[in-house]
Every structure is written in structure tokens, then in C-alpha cells.
Amino acid sequence: MPKPSAKTVVGLALALAFGGFVLWIQLAFLVSLGTLGVGSASFLASLTGTVDQITGGEYQGAEADFAKVEAAASRISSSSVGPHMVMLGGVPGVDSAIQNWQHLGAATADIAGSTGELLSLFGDLSGENGSRKIFNDGAIDVARLRELPPRVAAIDAGIKSSAQSLRAIQTTGPLAGALATVQRKALNEVAPVQEAINVLVDLAPQLPDALGANGVKRYLIAIGNQAEMRASGGAPLSLVLVEFDKGRISIPIKGQTSTQLFPPLNAKVKWWGPSMNPFFPVNPRDAPMVVTNTHPSLTFAGREMAGAWVGGDYPEVDGVMTMDLTAIAAVLNALGPIQSAAYGEVTGDQLGKILLIDAYQQFGQAEAEARQVANQQLLDDLLTRLLSGDDLVTAAKAVAGTAPGRHFQVWLRDPDFESVILKSGAGGQVVDPGTGDWSAVYTQNGNQSKVDVFQQRNVLVSVQLAEDGSARVTQQLNVVNATPADRPEGPPERIGYETSWLKNAYIMYVPDKATNYTPTYPQGFAIRSFKNHQQYGRGFANDGYGQKLVRMVGWTPPGGQTTVSVSYDLPAGTFGGEGKPLIYTLQAEPQSLFINSTITARVTGPTGWEPEGGPGMKVTGQTGEVSAVQDAPVNVTMGFRRS
């Protein structure tokens, strides 16, 4: 066998070397691609976990998930570098893919950095990262509070920059599928990070001044009693004044509204309120503090409560916060029970029954003062625990979770801060969405009974659609006075907290675009008009914002039920039609009842049309029906198609 020439040997060596080089690049590239896939999957899952833990108030869990975020971001970054990537970056057609891969690595590293800053901020607020809490032992660290706005702004800028870098990545050509998948998922996962910081972006600049860094700020906290409802919440039967002054927090005034703060018993006071509120026809007002939250919207009711407070010779306040027993129960469920000399161990699940039902049976009318003292002591113990600052994040999360159902609401005198509150949904605002249908119905106790705690309510919205997108709508409100059968009927005058009778005002809105509106109510009921205020006819009046509401009043015996309704037309085009898709939409507002109301939308399409169906929808011929619990605003969307 002839011996191979030197040229052949060199050629074979070069071929082997080149083959090995190509194999090395291929293997290294496959390793990088695998590292990208594994790192991306871990990064996205851990990022979601971190944000969920932060918004859930779980610092330790967020810290653990964030460690995985950092490790995954490091993998993604390392996958885009190395000698093989440098060489591939010089290949025409592949170079842009490698550059975008590297941009992806940098963007995920930036996202990790911004999320880490958000976690650090959360740790500082809660004090769980070992640093001194901003809010601790009944005091605020004003210097650290002033640091919040620039820190939040920096985190926000970092998140926005990262998202912009992600969007700028070109996902065409080689590696398009892998890069596009990671880019799309990363943008989806960065959205909740941005959402979490957006709340602080609006809030942080307002906090130093609002919490007394620049001088005294006072806020009135009204504890709403859901056994005696007003339109915007429970009757404000207990009041607490909280004062912030350059880091010091104090409660200079607190007590039961009717006897301790406005004696001898719900004394009338004079105050000036917003002139357009139809529930108070003249200025100055002359009424007890406990009826100030009659308007369904806290944007009116908060101003009335602040005014009546000053009318009682108390200092002017910068805002009003309302909390009811549903909100307080959520705090107790989150923090654990407290002990009461009168009631024993009180848990969140027991709180409503103890204070709204058992207390009125344990303490009769003659022992009202003893009941109020026991209730006030329970409230004092809870406030003492909250102002310690040890459980601030947990308590704030629990309270905020009840805001959609209007169990926690805030009105602020400062218009800039008030706009932040309204944007957050915690402002208790009642406003027509301006599109589709709208349901806003409220009950208001009129005989001082304490049976609203037993109120069982359902709302039926019946709709007949037309092909031109118009509709005829009837909203029917049904209320059952489900007072237990073994409870005494009470005094013959049917007034006071020992009666089982209910006298209610039923307040119902119709949408701004409604025409031909009319109320229907039982025999013996009456329309109670609004004096010295713009009328729309048939009992409807301007609510102060140009919206139409009607007030129907009547009695319901124990165990009885009452049904009232409003009917109206909505114009062509409201729900599409005439060449556009036919889609019924409804926004329904909640009232902060102790037992949540339920709402049912029953929509019938025009002849020859049928509902498209959907989760939870019952379809019968031309009619679709959906129901929901009103523990937050309810939104219904129901499409129709030709059958």
C-alpha cells in the first residue's frame, strides 16, 4: 500500500480540524440554545412567583423566588456569550440573530435588577430585610419616607427601559422562533412587575406630605355598621381621628358617634356641604353625623362626613376613611384573633356575628352604653395592634383586598392625592361607565333597625335586544328581610335596634343614555322626591353629577320581601348592530352589605339571533343568562350571532 503524501496528510488533518471546529461550534451552540431554553423557563416562572409573593406580602417567599430569577438571568446572559458566539456573530445573516440574543440577555439582566430593587423596597417597607421599618412602634421615619419617591421613580425607569429593550429585539431570520417565544413570554411576565410599581409611582410622591412630613395631617376613620346601612356604607356609628405630625402618630379623639362624640343622642350639627348633593337640600345642613353617608358615592359622602365632624366642634380633617366589619374581619383573619373581656376570643370569622348580631341580643336597649363600651374597647385593641407597625404590610394587604366591595374606601381633600385614590378603585365613586348598560342600586335604612345584617338581596337585569343595538331593560331589586323567626318583632312603633321590621329607601340609577325610564314599586310604597334639586320626572333626580336616580321608600316585615324595579330604553348602537357585532355589556356596582348581593343578567336577542355562549352562561333559545356575586364591580359581556 503506497504511503500517503505529505500533502494528503496535511489535507486530512485540516479536514479533521475543520470538522472538529464545526462540531465544536455546533455543540457549543446547542448547549447555548439549551441554556437559553432552560434559563428562560426558570426566569419567567420565578419572576411571576417573585411578583406574586411581593403583592401577596410574603417577603421570605419573594426572596427565595428572586434568587432563582437572578440565577436564570445569569444563564440567559451566559448563553449569549463565548468564543463560538463571537465567531457566529461574524457570519452574515446570523450576526443579527446573535446580536438580538445578546440584547435579550441584557434585557433579562436589567429586569432582574429592577425586580431586585422592588424587592428591596418591599423589604424596607415591611422591615423584613433586617433594616429599620419606615413605619414602626407608632412612628414614621420621615427621612426614609422622603427617599421613597426617587427610589420608586428609578425602579419604574428601569422596568420601562427593560421592556423597551425587549420590544426592540428583532425576531426574524435565524433563531426567530426561539427568540420570539422568549420575547413574548418575557413581555407578558414583566407586565405584572410594571403594574406593581405603577401603584407606587402614583402613590409615593404623595405620601410624605400626606403622612405629616411637612406638618400636621388629620384623617377621620369611620367604622361602618352593616346592620344599619347607608347607600355608601354602613352607618358611621364609631369614629376615630388619626393624626400624623412629623413622624409622630396619635389618636387624639375616638368614640361612639351617637353618645360619646355627638351627645346626648345623635345631636344634630350644622355644616356646609357640596351644594349639588340631593340628599341634603339646603346649606347649612342640620342633621346628625350618622346620616352623612347617604349619598351612594363617597366623593359626596366623604365631604359630608368631614363637614359634620367640624360641625361638632372637632378639628378639620384632610380625609375620611371608611371601614366596615368585613374589612376589619379580613385584618383579624390575617393577623390572628384578639381577646375581649366582653366577648372572649374574637376571630375574623366571628367578628360580624359578635358585633352585628350577638351584641344587640346580649345588651338590650337599656344596656346600649355597655355594648358601646365593649365594642370601643375591641376597636381600641385592634388599633393598638395595627399602629405598632409589626404587621403593617399584612394588615394593609388584608384591608386593600376588601376595597373592590367598598368595605374600605377613602376620600381625600387634596385633589392630586384623591385622583390617585379614585384611579386605584378605593374611592367609592359611583359613575356611569358611559358605554353599554349600568346597574347601581342601593338600600338605605330608615328606621334605625339593625336587621340589614340579615338582608338577602338579588338583582335581575332583564334585557331585550334589537338588531340595531338598542334595548329595553328592566332592573329588578329583590330584598328579603331574613331576620330569624325566633327573634321578637320588637316595639309597636317599629323603630330602633330592637325592631325586626325594616324601613328602607331603595335608590336605583339608570344609565345616562336611558330614555322612557320609569320606576315600579309595591302598594303602600312611595317615591320620596329630592327637594330643591333638579328633577327629571317620574321621581328621578340629578344625583349631583348629572346622573339619574330614583328613591322608593317602604316597610318590609320580618321574614318578608320587597321588589322594586326601574325600566328604560337604551338607544340604537349602544350594543353594536347595523353591520357591527351585537354585544351586550353591563357594569354593575356593589354595595358593602354584610351578605353580598347576587346579580343575574338575562339577555334575549332579536328574532333569529342566539347567544354565543361562554363559561358559566346558561343558554335557552334566544336568551343567555349569567350570574355573579357582587363582592366587587361585576362586568358582563354577552355576544349574539344569527342562528
pLDDT in tens, 422-474: 998 999 999 999 999 999 999 999 999 999 999 999 999 999 999 999 999 99
Q: At 330, is the secondary structure helix, strand, or coil?
A: helix
Exposure pattern of 122-137 as b/e (b: 16+ CB <10 Å)?
Answer: bbbbbbbbeeebbbee
In 3D, which of 203, 124, 123 has the Cα closest to residue 156? 203
Q: Which residue has cell 353591563? A: 586
- Asked if residue 586 belongs to a domain, the reply is yes
Q: Let me know whether 41 and 154 are in one domain.
A: yes
Q: Let me know whether 499 and 405 are in one domain.
A: no
Q: Decide if 611 contacts 565 (C-beta within 8 A).
A: no
Q: Which domain holds residue 412?
A: 215-424
- φ/ψ of 400, rounded to 5, equals -60, -30
Of 209, 225, 252, which one is at a domain's C-terminal end? 209
Q: Let me know whether 238 and 204 are in one domain.
A: no
- Asked if residue 430 belongs to a domain, the reply is no
How far is 59 from 506, CA to CA, in rounded Å?
45
Q: At 475, is the secondary structure helix, strand, or coil?
A: strand
- Asked if residue 431 belongs to a domain, the reply is no
- Asked if residue 43 belongs to a domain, the reply is yes
Which residues are 241's β-sheet partners? Answer: 220, 253
Q: Decide if 232 contacts 301 (C-beta within 8 A).
A: yes
SS percent in the chain: helix, strand, coil, step 5:
40, 30, 30
- Asked if residue 166 belongs to a domain, the reply is yes
How far is 582 from 575, CA to CA, in rounded Å?
6
Distances (CA, A) of 599 to 582, 627, 635: 22, 6, 11
- Asked if residue 318 belongs to a domain, the reply is yes
Q: Let me know whether 201 and 221 are in one domain.
A: no
Q: Let me know whether 37 and 133 are in one domain.
A: yes
In 3D, which of 129, 189, 120 has the Cα closest to residue 159? 189
Of 424, 449, 477, which one is at a domain's C-terminal end? 424
How far is 547 from 304, CA to CA, in rounded Å?
19
Which residues, at least 6 apart from 540, have a Cβ–Cβ distance to it below 8 Å? 510, 517, 519, 548, 549, 550
Q: Which residue has cell 405629616? A: 212
How far is 347 from 325, CA to CA, in rounded Å?
12
In 3D, which of 360, 398, 627 has the Cα closest to residue 497? 360
How far is 219 from 217, CA to CA, in rounded Å?
7
How far is 1 from 6, CA to CA, in rounded Å?
15
Q: Let me know whether 187 and 40 are in one domain.
A: yes
18: amino acid identity, one letter = F
Q: Let me know whether 197 and 278 are in one domain.
A: no
- Asked if residue 536 belongs to a domain, the reply is yes
Residue 347: per-residue pLDDT? 83
Q: Decide if 471 contacts 451 (C-beta within 8 A).
A: no
User: What phi-psi label fits residue 371: left (phi over 0), alpha (psi between -120 and 50 degrees) or beta?
Assistant: alpha
Q: For the chain, how many structural domains are there in total?
A: 3
Q: Let me know whether 441 and 417 are in one domain.
A: no
Mean pLDDT of the chain, nearest integer: 83
How far is 205 from 152, CA to CA, in rounded Å?
9
Residue 257: per-residue pLDDT? 93
What length does the chain have?
Answer: 643
Q: Let me know whether 36 and 151 are in one domain.
A: yes
What is the rounded end-to-end Cα distance, in angstroms, of the chain? 86
Q: Let me know whether 419 and 455 are in one domain.
A: no
For residue 39 the three cell numbers come to 434559563
- CATH number of the domain encompassing residue 401: 3.40.630
Pairing of strands 580-588, 437-439: parallel
Residue 563: per-residue pLDDT? 98
Q: At 476, is the secondary structure helix, strand, or coil?
A: strand
- CATH number of the domain encompassing residue 57: 1.20.58
How far is 538 from 170, CA to CA, in rounded Å?
62
Q: Let me know whether 94 and 135 are in one domain.
A: yes
- CATH number of the domain encompassing residue 635: 2.60.40
Helix (H) or strand (E) holding 182: helix 176-203
Q: Decide if 563 contacts 477 (C-beta within 8 A).
A: yes
Which residues are 602's β-sheet partners? Answer: 462, 625
Of 398, 424, 450, which one is at a domain's C-terminal end? 424
Q: Decide if 459 contacts 599 (C-beta within 8 A).
A: yes
How far is 616 from 631, CA to CA, in rounded Å?
17
- Asked if residue 84 belongs to a domain, the reply is yes
Residue 381: per-residue pLDDT? 75
Q: Let me know whether 185 and 269 are in one domain.
A: no
For residue 225 the three cell numbers come to 355598621
User: Which segments in the chain show pLDDT lower than 50?
Assistant: 8-39, 81-82, 84-86, 88-93
Helix (H) or strand (E) holding 265: none
Distances (CA, A) of 365 to 344, 442, 574: 22, 28, 53
- φ/ψ of 280, rounded to 5, equals -130, 100
